Structure 1
Amino acid sequence: MTQPNAETAAEPSNRWNPAALIRTILVPLLAFAGGLALLQGVLLKGPAGTLRWVDVGCGAAACAVLAFRDRARTPIAIALALVAGIVATAGAANMVALYGVARHRRFPVALAVGLVNLATGCGFWLLYPGNSTFSLTVTVNVAIAAAVIAWGSMRQAQESLLLSYRERAERAEREQQLRETQVRQAERTRIAREMHDVITHRISLVALHAGGMMVDPDPTRGDVRDTAELIYGSARQALEELRLAIGALRADEPTSLEQPGIDRIGDLVTDAEQAGQRVELSMDPDIVEAAPSGVGRDAYRIVQEGLANVRKHAPDTTAVVSLAVADGTLRVRVANDIVDDTLGVPGAGAGLIGLKERADLAGGTLRYGPSAGRFELIGELPWT
């Protein structure tokens, strides 16, 4: 946290400020009144006759300079200190200027101006030694200057502390808003990734149904009707899931899509087989009961993406799906023979990239690629 700059703190702005205008006029008037009171009631011996009126005029001019103190506090304070060394009615204006330096400038600057005040106070005693003894004059001047500097410095420190607290609170609020935005964005990104997985699965089923109808040389009316029903059902489910996903993304506070687990992998296989895809599933039934929710969700997405990729890139092969737990790790594998025939469904490979990120976040691994004439998608997730 950077500390407020004392050189510029609390300086006036260029905006119209009635309170500042009143203060600008009132302070010189009060300083002049204080100078007159000092001249009349405090000094035992001072300027008399014509010099008194000269003193009053010079004091009035010195007080008027206070109206411009915000523009050059230190030079004005030094000038008034020098004037106060010979003009009695400038004494109060001198203290006001000293307070302004202590209030808005660094302490060493205020201390230097205070020393100038002490020196000019001794000069005033040389002009009018009959007012008091030299020791008393020095003592009074030191006490007044010290009190004024201490008061101004204390106010500056108080304002600096309040400003630092305000900045700290504002920064904490901005950081909180940033964290909320990051969490919301992360949730939206995750929903978008899940939307990709879900929609790719449904659309690949539609493509598989349509592709099967295209290669049938002489489909019967019943076959056409059954295939149309399957395409309609898959497309409707895809639209419904897309509507839910977009609704979640548009909401101010996005909520997750449905989070299926290992218990729904059987439904994936059933949907694929109804679409004409050949799938072999090997999974221990005990895994379904014991699977943690997070691991089950990730395993479901791996199988979903794997089956969708097989439908798109090797529709005439058999997809082999296996899930097994060994040494505290769930191993999910989707494999198929590598062939040249594909459905021609476009893909950018974002699904596998998203799966790899999902596995990394879960503390597992994901690898994919050809192996011994087969394409394998293997995910290993911690069984915790």
Structure 2
Amino acid sequence: MDASPTAPAARRGLRDWFVDTGLFLLAVLYGVVMSGMRLDSPPLPVPLWLFNVDQLTGVLGCAALWLRRRRPVELAVALVVLSTFSELVAGAMLVALFTVAVHRPPRTTTAVFGLSLLAALGYVVLRPEPDTSRMLPWLLGVTIQGAAVGWGLFVHHRRRLTASLRDRAARAETEARLRAEQAQHLAREAIAREIHDVLGHRLSLLSVHAGALEFHPDAPAEDIARAAKVIRESAHQALQDLREVIGVLRAPVGELPQPAFADIRELAAESGRAGMRVDLCEELASAVPDSTGRTAYRIVQEALTNARKHAPGAEVRVRLAGAPGEGVTVEVRNAVPGLADAPAAPRSLTDALPGSQPGSQPGSLPGAGSVPGARSGQGLVGLAERVALAGGRLEHGPTGAGDWRLSAWLPWTP
């Protein structure tokens, strides 16, 4: 990148010292050769005093080259002005022109180069060569100065190109890292939703039956055996689901196990075997697409899990309706303890859990939704994200008739 005129000069490295020394020696060599040529071909074309001033100017110009990195433009202008009458400072002036072309914008380089052309014209006017046309020395000077400036511009653009490619590579690396982090974050969110949906459903069954055994230790042996069987089967299935998820984490080339829309019937039947009263109504024109069916399954699963945890004993009504082009509507309703009439006496072992009576735990989720003003659980948050990713809408809240309603609409592309 180009150095700013006001920026502090960077500390010279070994390569910089090598380059600066080489350019200084070239400028000195030019002055020594030109001075020797003048001394070897008397008479001198200028008075002796002017030749001595020319030599002193050349020495000072060469010494000033060590400042070329700090003040390249100022040094170049000064040497260009001195080259109007000094012949031996031309080597240092060429190095200064090269430095400006390398370290400053092309517009500044063009201005300094134009000034050097005028200085070359002034030199051939003030110090003409005997028996030589004035145009020939001027053209020779223009050619040499143009070569120095052209070389400097080549180095300047090459450095800019290298810096641009380096910056582009750094930006690409940063963007790739950010995309990878975003992909990892999305993957973690997806896995978290799957673990919550899959294990939450199984563990809620365990909680229901374990709680029933705790509150009814004197229940009939048949009910205790049935509850123990459900606990064992749910624990086994939870372990199977957990193994599948862990297997995906260990081998990320696969996909998380996903249910289908037809599995909603088995989900309702499983909840029924656990003691819930589930009324499933399907009004679908045809088979639902797989992606929409998976989202609908998760909605029903979360609603049943919340109803089982926070409204045990209440009847849950599940309605599935839709058609291609119209979308799929998933609606789950259940009675809310404390808002509707008190539930009837427990019909089975699983009906007699804490919270089935009015005035259950404050701030808990009443089935498919959440109590107004209460803190929603992670399940509804993840469910809302899942529905939004599918392009649908999710609503939940009390109906005013003692029920809690969770409703979702999902797109169904024909």
TM-score by length of 2: 0.77
Aligned-residue offset at 1:335: 1.6
1:238-249 matched pairs, under 5 angstroms: 238-239=238-239, 241-242=241-242, 245=245
Equivalent residue number for residue 150 of structure 1? 150
Give the 3-state SS of the residue equivalent to 2:262 in structure 1: helix
Provide the rounded CA distance (Å) in 1 between the counterparts of 2:214 and 2:321: 37
Give the 3-state SS of the residue equivalent to 2:219 in structure 1: coil
1:1-384 matched pairs, under 5 angstroms: 5=2, 7=4, 13-14=10-11, 17-41=13-37, 45-46=44-45, 55-56=54-55, 58-125=57-124, 128-131=127-130, 132-216=132-216, 218-221=218-221, 223-239=223-239, 241-242=241-242, 245=245, 256-283=255-282, 290-326=287-323, 328=325, 329-340=327-338, 341-342=355-356, 344=361, 348-371=376-399, 372-384=401-413
Q: 1:285 to 1:331 in 2, by over 3 A?
A: closer
Provide the rounded CA distance (Å) in 2 between the counterparts of 1:181 and 1:315: 41
Q: 1:322 to 1:123 in 2, by over 3 A?
A: closer
**Equivalent residues of 2:120, 2:142 under 8 A apart:** no
**Equivalent residues of 2:285, 2:324 under 8 A apart:** no
Provide the rounded CA distance (Å) in 1 between the counterparts of 2:15 and 2:9: 11
Provide the rounded CA distance (Å) in 1 between the counterparts of 2:158 and 2:15: 21
One-letter amino acid matched to 1:323: L
Q: Mark the runs of 5 or more structure 1 residues left unpaired by the alignment.
A: none
For 1:108-135, what per-residue CA distance to the aligned partner results, in whole angstroms no more than 9, with x for missing partners?
3223323443444355445533354444
One-letter amino acid matched to 1:213: L
Q: 1:166 to 1:42 in 2, by over 3 A?
A: farther
Give the 3-state SS of the residue equivalent to 2:88 in structure 1: helix
Provide the rounded CA distance (Å) in 2 between the counterparts of 1:226 and 1:380: 37
**Equivalent residues of 2:279, 2:317 under 8 A apart:** yes
Give the 3-state SS of the residue equivalent to 1:262 in structure 2: coil
For 1:239-263, what per-residue CA distance to the aligned partner results, in whole angstroms no more than 9, with x for missing partners?
55456546756x6958642111112
**Equivalent residues of 1:32, 1:90 under 8 A apart:** no
Give the 3-state SS of the residue equivalent to 1:383 in structure 2: coil
One-letter amino acid matched to 2:292: V
**Equivalent residues of 1:39, 1:46 under 8 A apart:** no
Equivalent residue number for residue 352 of structure 2? none
Provide the rounded CA distance (Å) in 1 between the counterparts of 2:15 and 2:315: 84
Aligned-residue offset at 1:77: 1.3
For 1:23-67, what per-residue CA distance to the aligned partner results, in whole angstroms no more than 9, with x for missing partners?
121110112112223334489755676765664454234223223
> How many residues in Structure 1 have an aligned counterpart in Structure 2?
375
**Equivalent residues of 1:279, 1:321 under 8 A apart:** yes
Aligned-residue offset at 1:88: 2.6
Q: 1:362 to 1:27 in 2, by over 3 A?
A: same
**Equivalent residues of 1:39, 1:88 under 8 A apart:** no
One-letter amino acid matched to 1:39: S
More helix by share: 1
Aligned-residue offset at 1:317: 1.3
**Equivalent residues of 2:322, 2:328 under 8 A apart:** yes
One-letter amino acid matched to 1:211: G
Aligned-residue offset at 1:73: 0.7
For 1:280-301, what per-residue CA distance to the aligned partner results, in whole angstroms no more than 9, with x for missing partners?
22336985xx221101100110
Choose 308-317 or 50-59, whichever is displaced more: 50-59
One-letter amino acid matched to 1:259: Q
Provide the rounded CA distance (Å) in 2 between the counterparts of 1:127 and 1:252: 84
One-letter amino acid matched to 2:288: A
TM-score by length of 1: 0.83
One-letter amino acid matched to 2:16: A
**Equivalent residues of 1:103, 1:153 under 8 A apart:** yes
Choose 359-368 or 312-321, whichever is displaced more: 359-368
Provide the rounded CA distance (Å) in 1 between the counterparts of 2:321 and 2:265: 15
Q: Percent identity?
A: 37
**Equivalent residues of 1:321, 1:333 under 8 A apart:** yes
One-letter amino acid matched to 2:264: I
Choose 20-29 or 363-372, whichever is displaced more: 363-372
Provide the rounded CA distance (Å) in 1 between the counterparts of 2:86 and 2:390: 82
